[in-house]
Structure 1
């Protein structure tokens, strides 16, 4: 099954602790997880260096792909995506306004 969301898409978290937060997809992890920019931050311990006095950093953690949905900036709501095949090319299309996402 092909994914309906891609890297650099805006997504909104629909369940869990960060419900309602909006961010961009940074990368896919494994098959069912994604990393979203500035969402699900965790503290990661690091060794103290000469120029760094902190012993931890904030890092994005993975979120299940079923907990996010595509966010349409034009209508400021989440939106569903459908696939349409035209001349043997597959396009992603928004269901609300039939706008083509891929060129």
Structure 2
């Protein structure tokens, strides 16, 4: 079970975009995620009329390592760590915020 999943709101805690918040769009490979509006670069593209691609500068979100992001806690309005807890007598495993113990996504 991953600590950070697709759809989670996260805060960048290190790097050039430190302090920015965004939604996790997808996992690229193990340990790397793409976050909306974070680590944005400009990519030069050539026009390709066969594929219908217009040339020019495109802005693209690049992957960021999961060690540089932390989950956003809406109650404390700060970055937080994630832990796990078994509920219903060990039948279901859920993610919790380490600071207060609240269940994520509940």
Query: Structure 2: how far apart are the matches of 1:65 and 1:52?
Result: 32
**C-alpha displacement at 1:6, in angstroms?**
0.7
Q: Any conservation in 2 of the 1:91–1:102 contact (CA below 8 Å)? A: no
Is 1:88 the equivalent of 2:87?
A: no
Structure 1 alignment gaps of length 5 or more: none
**C-alpha displacement at 1:81, in angstroms?**
1.2
Alignment partner of 1:66: what SS? helix
**C-alpha displacement at 1:43, in angstroms?**
1.2
Q: Give the TM-score normalised by the residue count of structure 2.
A: 0.84
User: What is the correspondence of 1:1-103 to structure 2 with a 5 Å cutoff?
Assistant: 2-48=1-47, 55-86=56-87, 87-102=90-105
Structure 2 alignment gaps of length 5 or more: none
CA RMSD across the alignment: 2.0
Runs of 4 or more off by more than 3 Å in structure 1?
A: 48-54
**C-alpha displacement at 1:97, in angstroms?**
2.1
Alignment partner of 2:67: what SS? helix
Q: Give the TM-score normalised by the residue count of structure 1.
A: 0.86
Query: Structure 2: how far apart are the matches of 1:102 and 1:52?
Result: 39
Query: Structure 1: how far apart are the matches of 2:54 and 2:31?
Result: 36
Query: Structure 1: how far apart are the matches of 2:57 and 2:44?
Result: 4
**C-alpha displacement at 1:14, in angstroms?**
0.7
What count of residue pairs does the alignment treat as equivalent? 102
CA displacement, residues 36-85 of structure 1 (integer Å, 9 cap, x when unaligned): 00111111222337898751200000101111011112211111111011
